[in-house]
Amino acid sequence: MTETLLDANELVLNMGPQHPSTHGVLRVVLKLDGERVTGTDCVIGYLHRGVEKIGEHRTYAMFAPYVDRMDYLAAVSNGLGYCLAVEKLLNVTAPPRAQAVRVILAELNRIASHLFWLGTHALDIGAMTPLFYTLREREEVLKIFENYCGARITTHAFRIGGLYYELYDGFEAQVLAFCEMFERRVDEYETMLTENRIWVDRLVGVGILTAQDCKELGVTGPMIRASGLRWDLRKAQPYSGYEQYDFEIPTRTNGDTYDRYMVRIAEMRQSVRIVRQAVQSIPEGPQMAKVPKVIKPPAGEVYVSVEAPKGELGYFLVSDGTLNPYRVRVRPPSFVNLQALNRMARGALIADVVAIIGTIDIVLGEVDR
């Protein structure tokens, strides 16, 4: 698109890579007709680190810390997906205790990721206050992570076959206290935003994506649920014991930016519900399955996907029976969801592009890998 000839009224504008609202180093080439966007083109790769290639040169256990660095806002979900994939390759399942703890941490991570999204998205739209409130609550989640595994962001919390770290004293109490406090805090965010006339005016009807569009583009996660499709891997293909918990999949019908906001808010409430159920019934028992010290899976290939905060996160591993994977392929939700930008932004105003990029909830570490 960048190479095509422009007619006299058209203008090409570079947004990014240093634009603050592109949430990282994303460059969007906008084709403009006055204030109207007639097409977008994403230039990615500024944060490319070759994670998939690194995977081919590391043993299975060694590669686990690297996956945390893809979606660094949801490192726990990344680690969970990778561990599940290798476990499937080895044909082991994590013991029930490990599964419950994994669910708790993954859901807390979903909350943290959505909180960060909400704060920065609101900041893009011009609401400064929510950022401080959401980061305050995110801090509580990060404290739980730090107490559990010693790191706040790139956690490396799980190991292949289960958990390495024991639960610390007071884990349950801390998590329950967080749940208690957090539900009221979600109400606070809603007080500030849901009815706020500026928020509503900026978001309603902006960046509409129909269910059909979502299916065509492979969009997943909260974006597809905002378009009315009840698709959530936690229900569709339950993993790590999600089938035991009672929760709903929030959906909306319009598929605009406002609906995506509502879906994510509702998802945070559902996550609290799951965490509550899980933390009150952590089974006793071992927390590590029988996994050989040297992980050498039989030749074969697996695809395992989990519902990361941003959508379907899939790992495709090919093993040739040696110590290293033959091929690692990651299906990052942000990368696929970003493809919807062109369809959402066409016909919008430049100011709306900021809202639309924010609503996709991308993390460039995951887009570029």
Q: Which of residues 82-141 bind other proteins (CB under 8 A)?
A: 129, 133, 135-136, 139
Q: Which two tokens stand for residue 65?
A: 């810390």
Q: Which of 36, 58, 327, 331 binds other proteins (CB under 8 A)?
A: 58
Query: Among candidates 130, 145, 111, which has minimal Cα distance to 268?
Result: 111
Judged by beta carbon, residue 136 or residue 290, the one nearer other proteins is 136
Q: Which of 168, 292, 321, 347 binds other proteins (CB under 8 A)?
A: 168
DSSP element (H, E) containing 330: strand 325-331
Judged by beta carbon, residue 81 or residue 130, the one nearer other proteins is 130
Helix residue ranges per DSSP H, the chain: 51-56, 60-67, 75-90, 96-125, 129-149, 171-193, 197-203, 211-217, 222-226, 233-236, 257-279, 333-338, 341-345, 350-360, 364-368
Judged by beta carbon, residue 30 or residue 193, the one nearer other proteins is 193
Q: Which of 40, 63, 74, 113 binds other proteins (CB under 8 A)?
A: 63
Place of tokens 């007709």: 33
* Residues sharing a CB contact under 8 Å with residue 287, sequence separation 6 or more, in sequence order: 95, 97, 98, 101, 162, 163, 166
Find the part of the chain contacting other proteins (CB under 8 A) among 35-43, 104-112, 150-158, 277-285. Answer: 150-158
Judged by beta carbon, residue 66 or residue 117, the one nearer other proteins is 66
Neighbours of 198 (CB within 10 A): 11
Judged by beta carbon, residue 125 or residue 217, the one nearer other proteins is 125
Judged by beta carbon, residue 43 or residue 151, the one nearer other proteins is 151
Q: Answer for the pair 153, 76: CB distance below 8 angstroms, yes or no.
A: no
Place of tokens 């998205």: 121
b/e map 273-311, b = 16+ CB within 10 Å: bbbbbbbeebeeeebbeebeeebebeeeebebbbbbbbb
Interface with other proteins, residue 165, by CB under 8 A: yes
Judged by beta carbon, residue 16 or residue 81, the one nearer other proteins is 81
Q: Which of residues 181-200 bind other proteins (CB under 8 A)?
A: 188, 191-193, 195-197
Find the part of the chain contacting other proteins (CB under 8 A) among 60-68, 219-227, 245-253, 351-359. Answer: 60-68
Find the part of the chain contacting other proteins (CB under 8 A) among 30-38, 160-168, 210-218, 240-248. Answer: 160-168
Rule CB under 8 A: which residues touch other proteins?
58, 61-66, 69, 129, 133, 135-136, 139, 143, 146-151, 154, 156, 164-165, 168, 188, 191-193, 195-197
